[in-house]
């Protein structure tokens, strides 16, 4: 609808996850770099990539190696090489990365039509929402860090059946708690939830809710709203946030039997 390339970067993100699932870390790093070269929003899966790598080195192939640095260097190089044609035609080779940082500063509203947690606060005064931007970053970072420690402590990723659901949680958490999120940034979450639905039917309800919410959002762009737009946005955020919280609780609950069984 918007002429965006979300399907492209999401495809390479999924390919990166597939390579991780097969323990092909270098290929996963390359695909992530390609995704990042198309859109900054590929960074939503970065927390999971880091979590998987740490788990891989701490619990599976124990010990870190010098070549592990390549996993972090490769995406940066891929992004830089994506501008090779522009460099040949005179563009400054150092212009690549500032573009990403400039994109972060384009908007100054805590929520941009995304039905995430911060959509619950859109009725606040504009200056108050601006003040909340930095704390929201700290909250998102803290929750993701807690997810990382929880995953490593309980060795969640040692069981491959937990791979996709953990990847989905990290991605969903990033979108739910980061500020300045557009409605289209939930695109990859829809894809991951649909994939999860094929692994276990208990995830179908989350995929259905996510797809319904996004259909609702785009429907309102083309029709006369039945309810005041402001309250409609809040209602969507309430439903979407509730789905995310139930999803999170279900993962924590599912990990408990595994923990007690292993003990």
pLDDT in tens, 104-120: 777 778 888 899 999 99
Band (pLDDT 50/70/90 cuts) for residue 242 is very high
C-alpha dist (Å) from residue 70 to 36, 62, 79, 202 = 16, 18, 14, 38
What confidence tens digit (pLDDT) does each residue in 142-157 have? Answer: 999 999 999 999 999 9
What confidence tens digit (pLDDT) does each residue in 182-234 have? Answer: 888 999 999 999 999 999 999 999 999 999 998 888 877 666 555 556 778 88
Alpha-carbon distance of 21 to 15, in angstroms, equals 10
Mean pLDDT of the chain: 89
Query: Are residues 170 and 248 in contact, defined by beta-carbon separation less than 8 angstroms?
Result: no
Alpha-carbon distance of 140 to 57, in angstroms, equals 25
Alpha-carbon distance of 13 to 41, in angstroms, equals 10
pLDDT of residue 153: 92
pLDDT of residue 243: 96
**Number of Cβ within a 10 Å radius of residue 156:** 24
| Type and span of the H or E element at 181 | strand 181-182
Band (pLDDT 50/70/90 cuts) for residue 261 is very low
Q: Across residues 68-79, what is the average pLDDT?
A: 92
pLDDT of residue 5: 87
pTM of the model: 0.91
Does 59 have pLDDT greater than 90? no
C-alpha dist (Å) from residue 195 to 47, 129, 203, 256 = 19, 35, 9, 24
The structure tokens listed for 12 are 């390479």
pLDDT of residue 221: 65
Does 75 have pLDDT greater than 80? yes
pLDDT of residue 101: 81
Alpha-carbon distance of 156 to 147, in angstroms, equals 11
More confident residue, 2 or 3: 3
Q: Across residues 28-47, what is the average pLDDT?
A: 95
Query: Are residues 48 and 170 in contact, defined by beta-carbon separation less than 8 angstroms?
Result: yes
């Amino acid at each position: 609808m918007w002429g965006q390339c979300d399907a492209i970067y999401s495809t390479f993100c999924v390919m990166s996850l597939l390579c991780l699932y097969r323990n092909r870390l270098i290929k996963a790093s390359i695909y992530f770099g390609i995704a990042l070269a198309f859109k900054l929003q590929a960074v939503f899966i970065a927390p999971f990539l880091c979590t998987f790598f740490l788990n891989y080195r701490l619990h599976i192939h124990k010990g870190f190696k010098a070549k592990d640095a390549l996993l972090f260097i490769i995406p940066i190089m891929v992004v830089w090489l994506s501008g090779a044609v522009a460099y040949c035609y005179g563009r400054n080779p150092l212009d690549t990365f500032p573009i990403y940082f400039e994109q972060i500063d384009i908007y100054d509203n805590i929520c941009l039509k995304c039905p995430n947690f911060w959509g619950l606060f859109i009725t606040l005064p504009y200056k108050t929402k601006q003040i909340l931007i930095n704390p929201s970053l700290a909250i998102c970072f803290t929750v993701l860090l807690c997810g990382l420690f929880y995953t490593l402590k309980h060795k969640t990723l040692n069981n491959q059946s937990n791979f996709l659901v953990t990847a989905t949680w990290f991605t969903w958490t990033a979108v739910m708690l980061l500020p300045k999120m557009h409605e289209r940034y939930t695109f990859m979450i829809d894809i991951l939830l649909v994939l999860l639905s094929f692994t276990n039917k208990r995830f179908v309800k989350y995929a259905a809710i996510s797809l319904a919410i996004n259909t609702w959002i785009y429907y309102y762009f083309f029709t006369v709203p039945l309810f005041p737009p402001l309250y409609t946005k809040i209602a969507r955020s309430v439903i979407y946030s509730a789905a995310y919280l139930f999803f999170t609780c279900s993962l924590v609950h599912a990990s408990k039997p595994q923990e007690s069984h292993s003990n």
